[in-house]
Amino acid sequence: MKREIADRLYTFRKNSGLSQEELAEKIGVSRQAVSKWERGEASPDTENLILLAKTYGVSLDELILSREEPKKTQKNSGARQDETPEKNAGEKNRDTEKDSGRPAENPEDSVSFQNGIHVNAKNGDKVNIDGSGIHVENHNGEEVHVDWSEIRINNPARVAEKSVSPLHSFFKHFPYPLLAATAYLAFGCLNICGGWAFGWLILLTIPLYYTAVSALFHRNAMFFAYPVLVAMIYLWCGFTFELWHPLWILFLTIPLYYTAVSAITRRNAMIFTYPVLLVIIYLWCGFAFALWHPLWILFLTIPVYYSLCKMLQTFRAGK
Protein backbone atom coordinates (compact mmCIF):
# COMPACT_ATOMS: atom_id res chain seq x y z
CA MET A 1 0.00 0.00 0.00
CA LYS A 2 1.20 3.52 -0.80
CA ARG A 3 2.68 5.44 2.07
CA GLU A 4 0.37 8.41 1.38
CA ILE A 5 -2.72 6.26 1.93
CA ALA A 6 -1.24 4.75 5.09
CA ASP A 7 -0.54 8.25 6.40
CA ARG A 8 -4.11 9.35 5.62
CA LEU A 9 -5.55 6.35 7.49
CA TYR A 10 -3.39 7.22 10.46
CA THR A 11 -4.38 10.91 10.34
CA PHE A 12 -8.09 10.15 10.02
CA ARG A 13 -7.95 7.89 13.05
CA LYS A 14 -6.02 10.44 15.08
CA ASN A 15 -8.44 13.22 14.11
CA SER A 16 -11.41 11.07 15.09
CA GLY A 17 -9.98 10.62 18.59
CA LEU A 18 -9.87 6.83 18.37
CA SER A 19 -7.10 4.54 19.53
CA GLN A 20 -6.09 1.54 17.43
CA GLU A 21 -7.92 -0.78 19.82
CA GLU A 22 -11.13 1.27 19.65
CA LEU A 23 -11.09 1.46 15.87
CA ALA A 24 -10.41 -2.26 15.61
CA GLU A 25 -13.42 -3.01 17.80
CA LYS A 26 -15.64 -0.68 15.77
CA ILE A 27 -14.94 -2.31 12.41
CA GLY A 28 -14.42 -5.86 13.66
CA VAL A 29 -10.71 -6.45 13.00
CA SER A 30 -7.65 -6.91 15.18
CA ARG A 31 -5.50 -4.06 16.45
CA GLN A 32 -2.62 -5.71 14.63
CA ALA A 33 -4.43 -5.25 11.30
CA VAL A 34 -5.01 -1.55 11.96
CA SER A 35 -1.36 -1.12 12.86
CA LYS A 36 -0.25 -2.80 9.61
CA TRP A 37 -2.54 -0.55 7.54
CA GLU A 38 -1.08 2.58 9.10
CA ARG A 39 2.46 1.37 8.56
CA GLY A 40 1.81 0.51 4.93
CA GLU A 41 2.53 -3.19 5.46
CA ALA A 42 -0.96 -4.29 4.42
CA SER A 43 -4.04 -2.85 2.71
CA PRO A 44 -7.63 -2.94 4.01
CA ASP A 45 -10.04 -4.72 1.68
CA THR A 46 -13.05 -2.99 0.12
CA GLU A 47 -15.39 -3.92 2.96
CA ASN A 48 -13.03 -2.52 5.57
CA LEU A 49 -12.49 0.66 3.53
CA ILE A 50 -16.25 1.22 3.49
CA LEU A 51 -16.43 0.69 7.25
CA LEU A 52 -13.52 3.10 7.77
CA ALA A 53 -15.20 5.75 5.61
CA LYS A 54 -18.46 5.40 7.57
CA THR A 55 -16.59 5.57 10.87
CA TYR A 56 -14.85 8.80 9.86
CA GLY A 57 -17.95 10.25 8.16
CA VAL A 58 -16.31 10.69 4.74
CA SER A 59 -16.62 9.16 1.29
CA LEU A 60 -14.25 6.56 -0.09
CA ASP A 61 -12.73 9.16 -2.41
CA GLU A 62 -12.05 11.49 0.50
CA LEU A 63 -10.58 8.61 2.50
CA ILE A 64 -7.99 7.39 0.01
CA LEU A 65 -7.89 9.70 -3.04
CA SER A 66 -8.21 13.27 -1.81
CA ARG A 67 -5.00 15.28 -1.57
CA GLU A 68 -6.45 17.62 1.04
CA GLU A 69 -5.37 17.28 4.64
CA PRO A 70 -8.05 15.40 6.65
CA LYS A 71 -9.96 17.75 8.90
CA LYS A 72 -10.44 17.20 12.58
CA THR A 73 -13.86 15.93 13.54
CA GLN A 74 -16.03 17.43 16.25
CA LYS A 75 -15.19 14.44 18.40
CA ASN A 76 -11.57 15.47 18.57
CA SER A 77 -12.08 19.17 19.27
CA GLY A 78 -11.09 18.61 22.86
CA ALA A 79 -11.04 16.05 25.59
CA ARG A 80 -14.16 13.90 25.36
CA GLN A 81 -16.89 14.69 27.88
CA ASP A 82 -16.84 11.27 29.49
CA GLU A 83 -13.06 11.05 29.85
CA THR A 84 -10.45 12.87 31.87
CA PRO A 85 -7.53 14.70 30.23
CA GLU A 86 -5.20 12.12 31.76
CA LYS A 87 -6.97 9.30 29.95
CA ASN A 88 -6.80 11.15 26.63
CA ALA A 89 -3.08 11.68 27.15
CA GLY A 90 -2.66 7.98 27.80
CA GLU A 91 -4.45 7.12 24.56
CA LYS A 92 -2.23 9.48 22.60
CA ASN A 93 0.78 7.71 24.03
CA ARG A 94 -0.60 4.38 22.86
CA ASP A 95 -1.33 5.69 19.38
CA THR A 96 2.15 7.07 18.86
CA GLU A 97 4.01 3.95 19.89
CA LYS A 98 4.77 2.95 16.31
CA ASP A 99 5.96 6.41 15.29
CA SER A 100 8.28 6.90 18.24
CA GLY A 101 10.09 3.64 17.57
CA ARG A 102 9.36 2.23 21.05
CA PRO A 103 6.21 1.00 22.78
CA ALA A 104 4.52 3.62 24.95
CA GLU A 105 3.07 2.80 28.34
CA ASN A 106 -0.66 2.30 28.77
CA PRO A 107 -2.35 4.10 31.69
CA GLU A 108 -3.64 0.76 32.93
CA ASP A 109 -3.75 -2.93 32.08
CA SER A 110 -6.58 -3.95 29.77
CA VAL A 111 -8.04 -7.18 28.43
CA SER A 112 -10.45 -7.39 25.49
CA PHE A 113 -12.25 -10.44 24.08
CA GLN A 114 -13.58 -8.65 21.00
CA ASN A 115 -12.67 -10.76 17.92
CA GLY A 116 -10.08 -12.71 19.90
CA ILE A 117 -8.05 -12.12 23.03
CA HIS A 118 -6.19 -8.83 23.36
CA VAL A 119 -4.08 -8.05 26.43
CA ASN A 120 -2.33 -4.70 26.86
CA ALA A 121 -0.11 -4.19 29.90
CA LYS A 122 0.60 -0.73 31.26
CA ASN A 123 4.33 -1.25 30.70
CA GLY A 124 3.80 -1.64 26.93
CA ASP A 125 3.71 -5.46 26.70
CA LYS A 126 0.98 -6.74 24.37
CA VAL A 127 -0.51 -10.11 23.45
CA ASN A 128 -3.05 -10.46 20.63
CA ILE A 129 -4.63 -13.79 19.73
CA ASP A 130 -7.10 -13.79 16.85
CA GLY A 131 -7.85 -15.47 13.54
CA SER A 132 -4.60 -14.21 12.02
CA GLY A 133 -2.47 -15.95 14.67
CA ILE A 134 -0.64 -15.08 17.88
CA HIS A 135 1.19 -11.77 18.15
CA VAL A 136 3.35 -10.82 21.13
CA GLU A 137 5.18 -7.53 21.64
CA ASN A 138 7.14 -6.42 24.69
CA HIS A 139 8.20 -2.99 25.90
CA ASN A 140 11.72 -3.49 24.50
CA GLY A 141 10.41 -3.65 20.93
CA GLU A 142 10.85 -7.42 20.60
CA GLU A 143 8.09 -9.14 18.63
CA VAL A 144 6.99 -12.71 17.99
CA HIS A 145 4.34 -13.42 15.34
CA VAL A 146 2.92 -16.91 14.81
CA ASP A 147 0.50 -17.28 11.91
CA TRP A 148 -0.70 -20.11 9.67
CA SER A 149 2.38 -20.06 7.44
CA GLU A 150 5.40 -19.07 9.54
CA ILE A 151 6.91 -17.92 12.81
CA ARG A 152 8.59 -14.51 12.75
CA ILE A 153 10.83 -13.19 15.53
CA ASN A 154 12.00 -9.59 15.56
CA ASN A 155 14.59 -8.59 18.14
CA PRO A 156 15.98 -5.08 17.50
CA ALA A 157 18.58 -5.51 20.23
CA ARG A 158 20.17 -8.43 18.45
CA VAL A 159 23.12 -7.22 16.42
CA ALA A 160 23.36 -10.17 14.08
CA GLU A 161 21.38 -13.36 13.64
CA LYS A 162 23.14 -16.66 13.91
CA SER A 163 24.16 -17.61 10.41
CA VAL A 164 23.36 -21.01 9.01
CA SER A 165 26.45 -22.80 7.74
CA PRO A 166 26.37 -24.31 4.24
CA LEU A 167 27.06 -27.74 5.78
CA HIS A 168 24.06 -27.50 8.10
CA SER A 169 21.88 -26.25 5.26
CA PHE A 170 22.95 -29.22 3.13
CA PHE A 171 22.13 -31.84 5.78
CA LYS A 172 18.91 -30.07 6.76
CA HIS A 173 17.56 -30.10 3.18
CA PHE A 174 19.02 -33.47 2.23
CA PRO A 175 16.18 -35.74 0.92
CA TYR A 176 16.76 -38.44 3.53
CA PRO A 177 13.15 -39.75 3.41
CA LEU A 178 13.71 -40.57 -0.26
CA LEU A 179 16.91 -42.43 0.65
CA ALA A 180 15.14 -44.36 3.42
CA ALA A 181 12.26 -45.30 1.11
CA THR A 182 14.73 -46.49 -1.55
CA ALA A 183 16.55 -48.60 1.05
CA TYR A 184 13.26 -50.14 2.20
CA LEU A 185 12.37 -51.09 -1.37
CA ALA A 186 15.84 -52.58 -1.84
CA PHE A 187 15.55 -54.61 1.37
CA GLY A 188 12.15 -55.91 0.29
CA CYS A 189 13.03 -56.76 -3.29
CA LEU A 190 16.38 -58.36 -2.43
CA ASN A 191 15.06 -59.97 0.76
CA ILE A 192 17.87 -58.62 2.94
CA CYS A 193 17.75 -57.21 6.48
CA GLY A 194 14.43 -58.96 7.09
CA GLY A 195 12.92 -58.07 3.73
CA TRP A 196 9.47 -56.50 3.71
CA ALA A 197 8.68 -57.86 7.18
CA PHE A 198 11.38 -55.98 9.08
CA GLY A 199 12.81 -53.58 6.52
CA TRP A 200 10.16 -50.95 7.29
CA LEU A 201 12.05 -50.21 10.50
CA ILE A 202 14.48 -48.15 8.45
CA LEU A 203 11.70 -45.59 7.99
CA LEU A 204 12.00 -44.86 11.72
CA THR A 205 15.44 -43.42 11.02
CA ILE A 206 13.83 -40.42 9.26
CA PRO A 207 12.99 -38.51 12.48
CA LEU A 208 16.30 -39.72 13.92
CA TYR A 209 18.20 -38.13 11.04
CA TYR A 210 16.58 -34.69 11.19
CA THR A 211 16.57 -34.44 14.98
CA ALA A 212 20.23 -35.49 15.04
CA VAL A 213 21.05 -32.71 12.56
CA SER A 214 19.19 -30.18 14.73
CA ALA A 215 20.86 -31.46 17.89
CA LEU A 216 24.33 -31.16 16.35
CA PHE A 217 23.69 -27.69 14.90
CA HIS A 218 22.14 -26.27 18.07
CA ARG A 219 24.57 -28.23 20.25
CA ASN A 220 21.63 -29.40 22.31
CA ALA A 221 20.97 -33.12 22.71
CA MET A 222 17.40 -32.38 23.82
CA PHE A 223 16.48 -32.00 20.14
CA PHE A 224 17.32 -35.63 19.41
CA ALA A 225 14.36 -38.05 19.17
CA TYR A 226 15.79 -40.56 21.62
CA PRO A 227 12.43 -42.35 22.22
CA VAL A 228 12.29 -43.22 18.50
CA LEU A 229 15.78 -44.72 18.73
CA VAL A 230 14.73 -46.84 21.71
CA ALA A 231 11.59 -48.04 19.91
CA MET A 232 13.62 -48.92 16.83
CA ILE A 233 16.18 -50.96 18.82
CA TYR A 234 13.43 -52.71 20.78
CA LEU A 235 11.47 -53.70 17.67
CA TRP A 236 14.57 -54.85 15.81
CA CYS A 237 15.84 -57.01 18.66
CA GLY A 238 12.34 -58.32 19.27
CA PHE A 239 11.73 -59.35 15.66
CA THR A 240 15.25 -60.66 15.09
CA PHE A 241 16.18 -62.30 18.42
CA GLU A 242 12.78 -62.42 20.18
CA LEU A 243 14.15 -60.36 23.04
CA TRP A 244 10.82 -58.73 23.84
CA HIS A 245 11.57 -59.56 27.44
CA PRO A 246 13.53 -58.17 29.21
CA LEU A 247 14.49 -55.63 26.55
CA TRP A 248 11.40 -53.54 27.36
CA ILE A 249 13.61 -52.15 30.12
CA LEU A 250 15.15 -49.95 27.41
CA PHE A 251 12.13 -47.65 27.58
CA LEU A 252 13.07 -46.77 31.14
CA THR A 253 16.18 -45.10 29.74
CA ILE A 254 14.08 -42.37 28.07
CA PRO A 255 13.69 -40.24 31.24
CA LEU A 256 17.32 -41.02 32.05
CA TYR A 257 18.46 -39.57 28.73
CA TYR A 258 16.58 -36.28 28.99
CA THR A 259 17.26 -35.69 32.67
CA ALA A 260 20.96 -36.48 32.13
CA VAL A 261 21.15 -33.95 29.29
CA SER A 262 19.33 -31.36 31.38
CA ALA A 263 21.56 -32.04 34.40
CA ILE A 264 24.72 -31.61 32.33
CA THR A 265 23.42 -28.47 30.61
CA ARG A 266 22.34 -26.80 33.84
CA ARG A 267 25.19 -28.30 35.86
CA ASN A 268 22.74 -29.54 38.44
CA ALA A 269 22.90 -33.26 39.33
CA MET A 270 19.65 -32.97 41.31
CA ILE A 271 17.75 -33.01 38.00
CA PHE A 272 19.00 -36.48 37.07
CA THR A 273 16.49 -39.29 37.78
CA TYR A 274 18.88 -41.44 39.79
CA PRO A 275 16.09 -43.69 41.17
CA VAL A 276 15.13 -44.70 37.61
CA LEU A 277 18.74 -45.69 36.94
CA LEU A 278 18.66 -47.96 40.00
CA VAL A 279 15.38 -49.53 38.83
CA ILE A 280 16.95 -50.33 35.45
CA ILE A 281 20.04 -51.90 37.05
CA TYR A 282 17.95 -53.85 39.54
CA LEU A 283 15.53 -55.23 36.93
CA TRP A 284 18.26 -56.13 34.46
CA CYS A 285 20.41 -57.94 37.04
CA GLY A 286 17.31 -59.62 38.43
CA PHE A 287 16.06 -60.93 35.09
CA ALA A 288 19.50 -61.81 33.72
CA PHE A 289 21.29 -63.14 36.79
CA ALA A 290 18.48 -63.66 39.37
CA LEU A 291 20.19 -61.18 41.70
CA TRP A 292 16.97 -59.90 43.24
CA HIS A 293 18.59 -60.40 46.60
CA PRO A 294 20.74 -58.72 47.84
CA LEU A 295 20.72 -56.17 45.00
CA TRP A 296 17.72 -54.37 46.56
CA ILE A 297 20.36 -52.69 48.75
CA LEU A 298 21.03 -50.38 45.78
CA PHE A 299 17.88 -48.41 46.63
CA LEU A 300 19.42 -47.37 49.93
CA THR A 301 21.87 -45.24 47.95
CA ILE A 302 19.07 -42.87 46.79
CA PRO A 303 19.15 -40.56 49.85
CA VAL A 304 22.96 -40.73 49.75
CA TYR A 305 23.00 -39.53 46.13
CA TYR A 306 20.73 -36.54 46.74
CA SER A 307 22.55 -35.64 49.95
CA LEU A 308 25.84 -35.53 48.06
CA CYS A 309 24.22 -33.38 45.33
CA LYS A 310 22.96 -30.97 47.98
CA MET A 311 26.39 -30.77 49.59
CA LEU A 312 27.97 -30.08 46.20
CA GLN A 313 25.50 -27.26 45.52
CA THR A 314 26.22 -25.73 48.92
CA PHE A 315 29.96 -25.98 48.32
CA ARG A 316 29.68 -24.24 44.93
CA ALA A 317 27.45 -21.51 46.34
CA GLY A 318 29.97 -20.81 49.08
CA LYS A 319 32.84 -20.30 46.64
Is residue 162 situated within a structural domain? no
Higher-pLDDT residue of 9, 233:
233
Q: Does 161 map to a domain?
A: no
pLDDT tens, residue by residue, 111-126:
887 777 888 887 778 8
**Residue 136 structural domain:** 3-154
Q: Which of 125, 154, 183 is where one domain is finished?
A: 154
Report if residue 61 sits inside a domain. yes
Q: Please report which confidence band the pLDDT of residue 53 belongs to, taking 50, 70 and 90 as the band edges.
A: confident
Same domain for 128 and 198: no
Q: Is residue 163 part of a domain?
A: no
109 within 8 A of 120, measured Cβ to Cβ: yes
Q: How many domains does the chain have?
A: 2
Looking at the structure, tell me whether residues 199 and 301 fall in a common domain.
yes
Eight-class DSSP state of 191: T
Is the pTM for the entire model greater than 0.75? no
Among 154, 183, 209, give the residue marking a domain's end.
154
Kindly tell me the burial class for residue 307, based on how many C-beta atoms sit within 10 Å of its own C-beta (0-12, 13-18, 19 or more). Answer: exposed
pLDDT tens digit string along 59-85? 888 887 765 665 555 444 333 333 444
> How far, in Å, CA of 184 to CA of 189, rounded?
9
Query: Residues 8, 150: one domain?
Result: yes
| Residues 176 and 96 grouped into a single domain | no
Within this chain, do residues 118 and 177 fall inside the same structural domain, yes or no?
Answer: no
pLDDT tens digit sequence for 82-100: 344 444 444 444 444 444 4
Is residue 232 domain-shared with residue 131, that is, in the same domain?
no
Q: 93, 125, 154 — which closes off a domain?
A: 154
Of the chain, the percentage scoring pLDDT greater than 90 comes to: 37
Task: Find the CATH number of the domain harbouring 127.
Answer: 1.10.260.40
